[in-house]
Amino acid sequence: MRLRILEAAKQEFAAHGLAGARVDRIAAKAGANKRMLYYHVGKKDDLYLAVLEGAYEQIRAEERGLDLEHLDPPEAIERLIGFTWNYFIRNPEFLALLNTENLAKARHLKRSTKVKSMHSPFVEMIRTVVTRGVESGDFKVAVDPVQLYISIAALCFFYLSNGATLSVIFGRDLLKQEAKNERLAHMVALVLAALTGKTTASLGSAKAPKRRAAAQQPA
């Protein structure tokens, strides 16, 4: 029952935001009543925080399965970029929840006792990749792993969250499959150029991600 409530709540909060979400609709979609909902999760703000924590827990869990530690550093970074990009595409509710919580100045997330502990191992995983890259000579600079991840997430997030307006402004359909494949290739080449100090042309990876991207895209 708790899982059904949380899934229904995620859809409701993503579609309507915190202010517009209705507990009655959440309960009905979960096949519960309001009293059962309060028993399993708590009031509306508690439910919203539980949804946020669950959203972060899901993406961190999938990231742990990327096996970055056993890949060559450039390949590990490319895999991380591809995963982040495709995760955002597959989970638009996650982007909507992030937008809602940022508008609230992270008021609810500040109450969480779980989120910070979820992120520490992930940051260390990226730090290990970067350190190995510098030691092997693949990377020219030991960038801050937090800054690196924020840059990767930002490159993905901004494009997808603003794709409709950007398409109108530039007169290009930036959300069609070919355009998304090109975007992934561009992001990989851009980040690896920054890490390796090599030009985009010399990396030789601008075309390869396009082929991989097609295979990675959700059906």
Residue with tokens 């029952």: 1
Number of domains in the chain: 2
* 3-class SS string, 112-155: CCCHHHHHHHHHHHHHHHHHHHHHHCCCCCCCCHHHHHHHHHHH
User: Whole-angstrom distance between the N-terminal and C-terminal Cα of the chain?
Assistant: 29
Average pLDDT, the chain: 88
Residue with tokens 């290009």: 172
**Does 91 lie in the same domain as 4?**
no
pTM for the model: 0.85
pLDDT tens-digit series, residues 71-125: 999 999 999 999 999 999 999 999 999 999 999 999 999 999 888 888 888 999 9
**Does 80 lie in the same domain as 36?**
no
Residues 184 and 81 sit within 8 Å (Cβ to Cβ): yes
Residues 200 and 189 sit within 8 Å (Cβ to Cβ): yes
Q: What is the dihedral of CA 117, 119, 124, 129, to 10 degrees?
A: 160
CATH of residue 8's domain is 1.10.10.60
**Does 188 lie in the same domain as 148?**
yes
